[in-house]
């Protein structure tokens, strides 16, 4: 398997009753995931404001985010091993229950324990969110079939984008009208709904009960016990997953640099918005992210139609070109264009971001089942590392440089790595298509 080969024409077998049933179950699961995502985006606003009001320090918001990212980083390292021991369904169920429980803890915590409860929330939400996503993405090929993974990825991203629009749009209204406690209760209820959805569905994936894992070392199925082999230095499974396909390591590295670029526009948007309108800085930020999400949703619809019409999925080249388009759009968003032009740029950035996520996720799902979870876990770790380091560097740089300069440097690095990635993928495709030498 080489990058780019997953966009070749795929057979379009007739849909059986089992495949149709699997797609209905997956739609039901995505509905629960979208509901929990709404609660997550609602709390992204509510928790940050609550942390600031509770501690009275802006630094506390940064520490809260740092703990959350560090927890996601650690969970990414452990995700592959956990999925080798437990089923994907059990991990997805427990992560939602844990997040609902920690939100209940925050609601019931007395004033003296609010800070400790907030730390617990950041740890649990950061780690469980990563474990849920790794479990979901790595089990999609078993749920809907290899030929439908691009459709399934696009559907889940569409649900999350709709939840993002609803969560960000309603956060101010919910907090202003009914307060923080009500927002936390809503978030707790969304995790409970997602947990119920997972509990009702037969979700395949995970390594529990795999006979190959339970067989004693030195014994093969259908044969006598073999003499134990000499101990050898073991290579981490995550690195083995990266070596399973040429260029896959560079693809994950590009995803990490892209996360660093994402940290720059996330941190620079409030600063840039304050420069545009000091009296209402939140208006530009909210409008920008709503338009970004709208562009993402439109891209998912186009990707699904493209797959139905051509029988192809978006390949690794789509990931490289999409990254270039997305990074370029985010740089232009801070260039001071009129608001109408900036709105179009936000739509393009969202569409390109949707393209990159579908192509990246679909490509990692072409790995064998035993390596897929480790690859997704390592990817989550790299993304959290890139975003966390980026937030620290960007926060320091914004004190001295303009938002355009900071975003330009960060996304410029992503453009450079994306160009290297495209050259690598193009070379591999040409080598694969050239006739063999006698």
Q: Give residue-wise pLDDT tens across range 310-341.
A: 766 677 788 889 999 999 999 999 998 998 99
pLDDT at residue 388, as a whole number: 84
Residue appearing with tokens 């049933």: 21
β-sheet bridge partners, residue 219? 225
pLDDT, tens only, 389-404 = 888 888 788 888 888 9
Mean pLDDT of 367-377: 80
Say if 159 falls within a structural domain.
yes
Q: What is the pTM of this model?
A: 0.76
Residue 353: pLDDT over 60: yes
Print the domain residue range for 256. 18-209+238-433
Q: Provide the sign of the torsion angle of the four alpha carbons 293, 299, 305, 308, taken in this order.
A: negative
**What confidence score (pLDDT) does residue 367 get?**
81
Comparing 79-93, 170-184, 417-431, which segment has the lowest mean pLDDT? 170-184
Indicate the DSSP class of residue 227: P
The CATH code of the domain that includes 189 is 1.20.1250.20
In a domain, 7, yes or no: no
pLDDT range class, residue 347, cuts 50, 70, 90: very high
User: What are the Cα distances from residue 140, in Å, to 4, 19, 79, 206?
Assistant: 20, 13, 16, 11
What is the overall mean pLDDT for the chain?
A: 79
Q: How many domains does the chain have?
A: 1
Assigned domain for 371 exists: yes
Quickly state the pLDDT bin for 209 (edges 50, 70, 90).
very low
Length of the chain: 438
Among the residue ranges 7-21, 23-37, 89-103, 254-268, the one predicted with the least confidence is: 7-21
Best CA proximity match to 238, nearest among 126, 78, 69, 384: 78
Q: Give the separation between CA 278 and CA 270, rounded to whole angstroms.
A: 10
Q: Are 172 and 121 in contact (CB under 8 A)?
A: no
Residue 276 has pLDDT above 90, yes or no: no
Is 3 inside any structural domain?
no
Model pLDDT for residues 156-173, shown as the tens digit of each residue: 888 888 888 888 777 767
Question: Is 37 part of any domain?
Answer: yes
Instruction: List all residues 6 or more positions away from 108 whose beta carbon is below 8 Å from its beta carbon.
Output: none
The answer to whether the Cα torsion of 151, 154, 408, 328 is positive or negative is: positive
Report if residue 226 sits inside a domain: no
Q: Which residue has the higher pLDDT, 421 or 18?
A: 421
Is 305 among the domain residues? yes
Do residues 397 and 406 touch, judged by C-beta distance below 8 A? yes
Angle at 41 between CA 112 and CA 382, to 5 degrees: 95
> From the DSSP assignment, how many helices (H) and strands (E) are in the chain?
13, 0
pLDDT at 227: 44
pLDDT at position 210 over 80: no
- Report if residue 219 sits inside a domain: no
pLDDT > 80? residue 57: no
């Amino acid at each position: 398997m080489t990058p780019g080969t997953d966009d070749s024409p795929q057979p379009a077998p007739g849909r059986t009753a089992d495949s149709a049933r699997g797609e209905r179950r997956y739609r039901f699961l995505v509905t629960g995931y979208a509901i929990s995502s709404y609660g997550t985006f609602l709390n992204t606003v509510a928790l940050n404001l609550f942390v600031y009001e509770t501690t009275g320090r802006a630094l506390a918001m940064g520490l809260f985010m740092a703990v959350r990212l560090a927890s996601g980083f650690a969970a990414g390292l452990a995700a592959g091993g956990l999925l080798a021991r437990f089923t994907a369904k059990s991990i997805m169920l427990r992560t939602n229950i844990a997040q609902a429980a920690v939100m209940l803890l925050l609601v019931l915590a007395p004033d003296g324990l609010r800070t400790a409860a907030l730390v617990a929330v950041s740890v649990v939400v950061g780690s469980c969110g990563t474990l849920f996503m790794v479990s979901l993405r790595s089990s999609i090929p078993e749920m809907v079939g290899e030929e439908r993974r691009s459709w399934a990825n696009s559907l889940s991203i569409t649900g999350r984008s709709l939840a993002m629009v609803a969560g960000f749009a309603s956060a101010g209204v919910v907090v202003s009208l009914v307060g923080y406690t009500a927002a936390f209760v809503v978030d707790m209820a969304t995790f409970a709904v997602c947990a119920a959805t997972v509990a009702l569905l037969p979700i395949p994936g995970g390594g529990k009960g795999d006979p190959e894992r339970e067989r004693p070392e030195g014994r093969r199925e259908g044969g006598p016990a073999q003499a134990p082999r000499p101990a050898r230095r073991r290579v981490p499974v995550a690195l083995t997953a990266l070596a399973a396909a040429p260029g896959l390591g560079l693809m994950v590295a590009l995803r990490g640099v892209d996360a660093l670029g994402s940290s720059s526009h996330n941190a620079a948007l409030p600063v840039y918005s304050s420069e545009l309108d000091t009296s209402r800085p939140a208006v530009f930020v909210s409008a920008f992210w709503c338009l970004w999400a709208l562009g993402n949703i439109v891209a998912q619809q186009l990707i699904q139609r493209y797959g139905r019409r051509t029988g192809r999925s978006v390949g690794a080249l789509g990931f490289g070109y999409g990254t270039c388009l997305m990074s370029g759009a985010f740089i232009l968003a801070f260039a001071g264009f009129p608001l109408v032009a900036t709105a179009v740029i936000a739509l393009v950035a969202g569409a390109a971001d949707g393209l990159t996520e579908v192509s990246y996720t679909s490509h990692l799902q072409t790995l064998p089942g035993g390596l897929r979870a480790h690859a997704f876990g390592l990817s989550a770790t790299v993304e959290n590392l890139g975003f966390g380091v980026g937030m620290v560097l960007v926060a320091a740089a914004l004190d001295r440089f303009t938002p355009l300069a900071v975003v330009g440097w960060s996304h410029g690095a992503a453009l450079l790595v994306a160009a290297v990635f495209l050259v690598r993928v193009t070379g591999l495709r040409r080598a694969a298509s050239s006739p063999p030498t006698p």
